[in-house]
Amino acid sequence: MAERLHKGEKVLRGIPVSAGVCRGKILVLDKIGHNVARRDLADAEVPEEINRLEKALLGARQQILDVQRKLAGTLGAEHASIFDAHLLVLEDPALIDEAVRVIQSEKVNAEHAFHTVSERYAAALSRVDDEYLRERVSDMRDVTGRVLNHLLGRNEELDLRHLKEPCIIIAHDLTPSKTAQMDRQNVLGFATDIGSKTSHTAIMARSLRIPAVVGLKNASEELEAGQYALLDGFNGVIIINPTDQTLFEYGQLIRKQVTLEEKLRDVLTQPAVTLDNHRVLLTANIEQAEDAKTVKSSGADGVGLFRTEYLFINRDTLPTEDEQYEAYRQVALALKPQPVVIRTLDLGGDKFLSHLHVPTEMNPFLGWRAIRFCLQQRDVFGGQLRAILRASAEGNVKMMYPMISGLDELNQANALLEEFKSELRAQNVTFDENLEVGVMIEIPSAAMVADSLARRCKFFSIGTNDLIQYALAVDRMNEKIAHLYEPTHPAILRLIKNTVDAAHARKVWVSVCGEMAGDPVLAPLLIGLGVDELSAAPPLLAQIKYLIRRLKVSDTRQLAEFALACESPSEILGRCQELAQRSAPSLFER
């Protein structure tokens, strides 16, 4: 819908990442650092303010000690010692004595004094010509943030699981783990200043069917808690104080959506077959075991990607092998005989364990993540491999490794897998001896050596979200360069084509499980490039199936042929839009 600005409204525009419209009161998170008001004190109030500061310092100290104790229990003292540096900040005279001095001499409230002094200190530290000291700035902000939260009486970890009333969340950023915690009853939608379509926060929002807009730049500063807003996750806008006229127009949009959803319901039980009889396997991406129910009702042919890292986050300890086994088994049993592709742990990038204090990296997406992490953390990886193997006895389980960059990593992972198989055999534990192992193709080097990889695995799953960010050197989280994140870039299409050709030469099956697969504009191009399976969030599957059933595979192949010969990403995108809109116009009416 082309939205117009009506009198009295304020409109902020961002990137639409999760469809749907909602309206309600705003709740702004993360206002730290922006709204620390100054209050002048009477002389008699000064000792009490110093007392408040001391109490806040003690409170922050206690919190850090608690986290440290939990960490030492799960990961050992070595990781927990990272918090020693945080404790030292709380004793630093240059910070604490100075804040007390400011309260006394300027007669201002403790939060204002502490905030001013700590910001001055952080600014000075970030200018120092010493990398080690500069890196301490984030430690310092972490600690001073805790102290401010105590002073401001703010619950640092606002629990998104138990909000008191329905609201639209506005935040500078939301981690995927925070998003996963959202209580769907009370979180009507959310909007963030940063982020883009393929950040895991956006992926999670689509999965949970929570309307969302990201990349709004400074919404968390401009908007105030309690304002009334309408959030449009189709077009990526948030409208503050919407007029009756706007609400009426959105009413029409919602009615159109309802009609479309009714149409889409008709295809749920039908197969994903083109008009000229080409079958595409349509599977679901899931993040937790409970999602198996949604997979069934979405008409999927199984699970193409089970992102297991969500079993590891939002908790204080690592999940045990048995806990994991239960989760994998639950999905395998629920969907049997349909396939369930379990991806081994893909931590890092934008998904972190809150309790596993992995040191901050300059480039986390290029860092110690996924298979790189697992190959070095044998206990963590082993527990997961054993759990997956055990679950494979219960259904049609397949397994794949994320972030494989070349043959060595695949061989190392497979060698470990063989060790754990032998261990289970020795213990008389049953598992599927023919468990199929696949490789995610999401690093350009893997796409280039797909012929070698195809000789040692049963299937590929192309992770276009990462493949695009690495091939085009465009951070998938950064809204400032979102326009450069182009799935139709000729380089991406050639990498996909190379992967498909290498796979098919060895009778290896190819799926795409990145967000491209759930995009009705791009799915036909993937089919034309020879991809056998598309895997997307359950709420997106009906529209993809509806479209496939209105397409001819011959047209998709023509589209792919054109795209592979074309030099311009926008021209290719234009052709994709033309085919999709011509085939299923009702998907695009809004």
Among the candidate windows 50-58, 334-342, 390-398, 464-472, which touches ligand PEP by CB under 6 A?
A: 464-472
CB atoms near residue 308 (< 10 Å):
26
- Residue 150 appears among annotated catalytic residues: no
What is the x/- site pattern for ligand PEP, positions 512-531, by CB under 6 A?
-xx-----------------
Residue 513 contact partner, candidates ligand PEP, Mg ion, none, CB within 5 to 8 A by sort of partner: ligand PEP
Nearest Cα to Cα of residue 381 among 402, 397, 358: 402
Both structure tokens of 545: 């199936």
Strand, coil or helix: 511:
strand
> Does the protein bind Mg ion through residue 442 (CB under 5 A)?
yes
> Does the protein bind ligand PEP through residue 465 (CB under 6 A)?
yes
> Does the protein bind ligand PEP through residue 283 (CB under 6 A)?
no
CB 365 within 8 A of CB 478: no
- Residue 86 appears among annotated catalytic residues: no
Residue with token string 């799953």: 461
Residue 533 contact partner, candidates Mg ion, ligand PEP, none, CB within 5 to 8 A by sort of partner: none
The catalytically annotated residue of 22, 167, 374, 513 is 513
Measured from the CB of residue 521, what is the shortest distance to ligand PEP in angstroms?
17
> Does the protein bind ligand PEP through residue 450 (CB under 6 A)?
no
Q: Exactly one of 193, 287, 346, 555 binds ligand PEP (CB under 6 A); which one? A: 346
Q: What is the dihedral of CA 73, 78, 82, 84, to 10 degrees?
A: 80
Residue 464 contact partner, candidates ligand PEP, Mg ion, none, CB within 5 to 8 A by sort of partner: ligand PEP
The catalytically annotated residue of 115, 172, 200, 355 is 200
Residue with token string 């804040």: 99
Cis ω for the linkage preceding 538 (within 30 of 0) = no
Nearest Cα to Cα of residue 531 among 557, 551, 565, 566: 557
d(CA 496, CA 527): 11
Q: What is the dihedral of CA 62, 66, 68, 70, to 10 degrees?
A: 180
Compare residues 149 and 464 and give the one whose CB is closer to ligand PEP.
Answer: 464
Amino acid at 590: R
Contacting ligand PEP within 286-315 (CB under 6 A): 305, 307
Radius of gyration of the chain (CA): 26
d(CA 74, CA 124): 36
> Does the protein bind Mg ion through residue 466 (CB under 5 A)?
yes
Q: Binding-site residue total for ligand PEP (CB under 6 A)?
A: 10
> Does the protein bind ligand PEP through residue 179 (CB under 6 A)?
no
Residue 499 contact partner, candidates Mg ion, ligand PEP, none, CB within 5 to 8 A by sort of partner: none
> Does the protein bind ligand PEP through residue 348 (CB under 6 A)?
no
Residue with token string 């700590």: 118
Compare residues 205 and 305 and give the one whose CB is closer to Mg ion.
Answer: 305
Residue 49 contact partner, candidates Mg ion, ligand PEP, none, CB within 5 to 8 A by sort of partner: none
Cα of 49 vs its chain's centroid, Å: 41
Chain residues that interact with ligand PEP, rule: CB under 6 A: 305, 307, 346, 442, 463-466, 513-514
Q: Binding residues for Mg ion, per CB under 5 A?
A: 442, 463, 466
**What residues act catalytically?**
200, 513
